[in-house]
Structure 1
């Protein structure tokens, strides 16, 4: 009976290994997608904060650079893989309320889940593994709104 069990653990491991690797790839790519989404949200928030202290209609190019590159200048590599300046839409200033009037600015990154191209979508590093295709993740539009100080 003892000799009949030799090699069983190796065969079980060989059967389970592809499933474990697929799960590892999926969890890793999902983590990367969350990380990039968080990076985009923080970039939009920083741009809205920057524009909230500017005069309405000014600083648009700098705010787009802030979203894409993390700085006011158009230098370096994008913070998120595949993010481009044309995916960041022009900010919108709005006056709301009557007494007091509140001035807000909204920054929007077009996501392919809700906007037409050019839009941002997450592209996984591993496209397929063991015959399982991991598709692109289409984010919805990412927006941030800040109120201008009085």
Structure 2
């Protein structure tokens, strides 16, 4: 059996066409997985910081042994700093890009518990998806929320 001399060359062209059709799909899939991983990482960072802030607030909110919760403004400010910056002084860079302590709220839903809520405006790595029909770009940003409620100690 003899092989045609141009058969190998034809097969190389087919492989190039297959790659040309599948590469855009693979690239979009790679960006989607990266974006999803980045969003999960930021959400995990935010929930962990909110839990740390609630733990800090719960340990200092109870006044003596009378069982009354007092939301001291200094303790509330320290909790907001701890959630956003990772320390009670509010020094250094925020744990998440462009996060401020204005997105953190501390409340007492009942006489024995405290609630720390945090909001963060997620900004994707990709930015916005351009539209091909002349309209505004599609924004992929959204607001993340985390709330932790703990019994005051």
Match of residue 34 from structure 2? 28
Cross-structure match for 2:13: 7
How many residue pairs get aligned? The number is 132
Aligned to 1:77: 93
1:11-54 Cα distance to aligned partner (Å, 9 max, x none)? 21122111111111111111111111111111111111001111
- Which ranges in structure 2 are unaligned for 5 or more consecutive residues? 62-69, 133-137
Q: Aligned equivalents of 1:130 and 1:106: distance in 2?
A: 40
Q: Which has the higher helix share?
A: 2
The 5 Å alignment of 1:1-150 reads 2=7, 3-55=9-61, 56-58=70-72, 59-89=75-105, 91-96=106-111, 103-110=112-119, 120-128=120-128, 135-139=140-144, 141-149=145-153
Q: Name the SS for the 2:148 alignment partner.
A: strand
Q: Output the aligned Cα RMSD.
A: 2.2
Q: Give how far 1:129 is off.
A: 6.6
SS at match of 1:83: coil
The 1-side partners of 2:86 and 2:124 are apart by: 22
> How many Å apart are 1:137 and its aligned residue?
2.9
Range moving further from structure 2, 54-63 or 27-36: 54-63
TM-score norm. by structure 2 comes to: 0.76
- Determine the C-alpha separation between the residues in 1 that align with 2:108 and 2:12: 72
Q: TM-score, normalised by structure 1?
A: 0.78
Structure index of larger Rg: 2
> Would you identify which runs of 4 or more consecutive aligned residues in structure 1 move more than 4 Å?
128-134
